[in-house]
Amino acid sequence: MPDRKQLINSMREERTIRSFVKRSGRITRAQKAALSDLWPRFGVDWSPRPLDLDGLFGRSAPRVLEIGFGNGESLIEQAAAYPESDFLGIEVHEPGAGHCLLLADQSKLTNLRIALHDAQEVLQWQIPDGSIHRINLYFPDPWPKKRHHKRRILQPDFLESAARKLAPGGSLHIATDWENYALHIDQLLAADPHFRVAERREHSGDNALDRPMTKFEKRGLGKGHRIWDWRLEKISH
Ligand SMILES: C[S@@+](CC[C@H](N)C(=O)[O-])C[C@H]1O[C@@H](n2cnc3c(N)ncnc32)[C@H](O)[C@@H]1O
């Protein structure tokens, strides 16, 4: 039995473990301006209450959620390619969000919104249960050191939360270029009751599973990494 002190420490840790560290990073003047000028058009403010997605997008349509979109280039590419779907991107890195907003404006997209907040909280609080058609998690931070593995966003509670937000028949798409993360994902999936592995691929950047190439994928390939892709189907109980 853990003593009282251990219990309090582990509860504190549970509340504070994040899958990211806020990097100050360099933000350009244009990205900073985009974050204020374009936010009213594309931005979703943080609030711990469920969003009215039909109201947010001004229509009813299949909804795709992308977690950790980085600089947003592949998110924009998908939103432009599938105008019949709505895309909600979530990121915490402000320069990346600014970059994405500039591209969204240039592409005149009407089916894209972005949230600048911890995706785990957005998922838990703002996304209504059963409202999402597809969730994309492309090249999540690998946290390669063993002592940091607890920071990996893919954990049993993330899978449980993702499954709850997906509509019946919905899917979760994952890609990584870190062999040790791929192993972790396979192990998680073997024990997970919410998803069925519909497809799994290992390749050299030449056989991606229904997605564009991303910035971090290119970076990984440049280092000689392999790529792993999964398409997981939600199991409806
Ligand atoms: C390795 S990058 C991959 C970016 C992009 N998907 C790609 O493939 O080029 C991971 C991104 O996830 C973001 N991220 C990590 N944890 C997050 C969280 N809890 N909520 C939102 N974004 C997160 C990071 O800020 C970072 O931009």
What is the pLDDT averaged over residues 121-132? 98
Q: What is the 72 CA–ligand 1 centroid distance (Å)?
A: 10
Q: What is the 5 CA–ligand 1 centroid distance (Å)?
A: 33
Give 9's pLDDT tier (boundaries 50, 70, 90). Answer: low
Q: What is the 151 CA–ligand 1 centroid distance (Å)?
A: 12
Return the axis-axis angle of helices 73-81 and 94-106, rounded to nearest 10°.
30
What is the pLDDT averaged over residues 130-154? 97
CA 138 to ligand 1: nearest atom: 6
55 domain residue, yes or no: yes
Give ligand 1 pocket residues (Cβ under 6 A).
Answer: 19-20, 68-70, 90-93, 96, 118-120, 138-141, 153, 214-217
User: For the whole model, what pTM was predicted?
Assistant: 0.94
Beta-carbon-side half-sphere exposure of residue 202 (alpha carbons within 13 Å): 8
Extended beta strands in 110-217, E state: 112-116, 132-138, 166-176, 195-203
Q: Which of 64, 76, 135, 141 to mutate to test the pocket of ligand 1 (most atoms within 8 A of CB)?
A: 141
In this predicted structure, what is the pLDDT of residue 215?
Answer: 98
16 domain residue, yes or no: no
The residue segments making up the domain with residue 102 are 24-234
Q: What is the 36 CA–ligand 1 centroid distance (Å)?
A: 21
19 domain residue, yes or no: no
CA 66 to ligand 1: nearest atom: 6
User: Whose alpha carbon is nearest atom 27 of ligand 1?
Assistant: 70
72 domain residue, yes or no: yes
156 domain residue, yes or no: yes
User: Whose alpha carbon is nearest atom 21 of ligand 1?
Assistant: 91
5 domain residue, yes or no: no
Q: Which of 27, 69, 154, 218 to mutate to test the pocket of ligand 1 (most atoms within 8 A of CB)?
A: 69
Q: What is the mean pLDDT of the chain?
A: 94
Structure confidence by residue, pLDDT tens digits, 90-126? 999 999 999 999 999 999 999 999 999 999 999 999 9
In this predicted structure, what is the pLDDT of residue 177?
Answer: 98
11 domain residue, yes or no: no
Q: What CATH number has the domain bearing residue 31?
A: 3.40.50.150
User: Which amino acid appears at position 235 of this protein?
Assistant: I
**φ and ψ at 16, to 5 degrees?**
-105, -5
CA atoms of 171 and 41, how far apart (whole Å): 28
83 domain residue, yes or no: yes
CB 228 within 8 A of CB 182: yes
In this predicted structure, what is the pLDDT of residue 1?
Answer: 52
CA 119 to ligand 1: nearest atom: 20
- What residues are labeled active site? 141
In this predicted structure, what is the pLDDT of residue 106?
Answer: 98
Res 173 pLDDT > 60: yes
Looking at per-residue confidence, does 7 or 146 come out higher?
146
Number of domains in the chain: 1
Res 16 pLDDT > 90: no
Residues across the chain: 237
Structure confidence by residue, pLDDT tens digits, 188-223? 999 999 999 999 999 999 999 999 999 999 999 999
Q: What is the 66 CA–ligand 1 centroid distance (Å)?
A: 10
Q: What is the DSSP string of 52-121?
A: -HHHHHTS---EEEEE--TTSHHHHHHHHH-TTSEEEEEE--HHHHHHHHHHHHHTT-SSEEEEES-HHH
In this predicted structure, what is the pLDDT of residue 10?
Answer: 54
